Amino acid sequence: MTRPLALSLGEPAGIGPDITIAAWMRRDAVDLPPFYLLGDRDCVARRAQLLGVDIPIADVCVEDAADTFATALPVVATGHPATAEPGRPNATSATAAIASIRRAVDDVGAGRAAAVVTNPIAKSVLYQAGFAHPGHTEFLAELARSDGVVPQPVMMLWCPSLAVVPVTIHVSLRDAIAQLTTELIVSTARIVVQDLRRRLGIAAPRLAVAGLNPHAGEDGALGSEDRNIVAPAVEILRREGIDARGPLPADTMFHAAARKRYDCAICMYHDQALIPIKTIAFDEGVNVTLGLPFIRTSPDHGTAFDIAGTGRADPSSLIAALKLAARMAAAPSP
């Protein structure tokens, strides 16, 4: 029997319920793989009513989710109600969101689901409830802890024409430069290569490594980091047999012809990676967490409180995340 995808609820007051409903309604048109939502059936039913959508919603156990998917939106209860209204998180939001993520990871770990797909969370809401992690990625890494060791999670943003990975993520630009080391670039790139091979079936991944400074530092004239930090990382990777080139000037890495020469761009900081992919595929980008013992994808956008419950939320990124998760789960290792 086909294992379904485990979809977390995300922030109940955001657009997670909206795009989940919209994605399920398009399941046949876009050939969507079976998934089930982990959360509160009443929350989803209220949102569907607000949106003016009449859809069947079924309370199911995981084992029945795939068979139910064709005729009803399967919801697996977590036992945590979500009573927040659209755009207005309340005291139930954080517990409902966290319980949903935990259960999704548990289901994949137990073999009940093929992959984890997460709806957007509101980090500020979780922080107010005592959430101790910077975000989704770090929380998932903690849930993957084994024998006291937390794996290094790597954030990849993916669309059919571009994949990018920022080496440093949710920190200020000043802190990103301070955190950047040869070792961090190398460990990040190794994880990227490993998962491109085992999750996406790319036998010999090609990496384009961006320089930190304009023009990749102009041989030290515009900063020493590219010569002293980035270039040694590329050399280490090449000695390991990895097809890595760089440091390359970031301003010429992302035009159409350049993108055909690599499988993933390794970028030095958050916006260097996210600006190009959000320009190219704002509505269809997927956030993928590499380096974990399970597959995790997510829409590449936030909770959009301002349009929650209005019917204006675009499910394209969630649809892409679900389809990519299924593809990764089915990919044979090269």
State which H helix or E strand residue 128 sits in: helix 123-128
Q: What DSSP string describes 108-172?
A: HHTTSSS-EEE----HHHHHHTT--SSSHHHHHHHHT-BTTB----EEEEEETTEEEEESS-SS-
Gap between the Cα atoms of 164 and 267, Å rounded = 7
In this structure, are residues 230 and 211 in contact, taking their beta carbons and an 8 Å threshold?
yes
Q: What DSSP string describes 66-79?
A: HHHTTTSEEEEE-S
Known binding residues for a divalent metal cation: 170, 215, 270
The SS3 of residue 243 is strand
Known binding residues: 136-137, 170, 215, 270, 278, 287, 296
The residue count of the chain comes to 334
In this structure, are residues 296 and 140 in contact, taking their beta carbons and an 8 Å threshold?
yes
Known binding residues for substrate: 136-137, 278, 287, 296
Closest CA to 277 of 288, 268, 286: 286
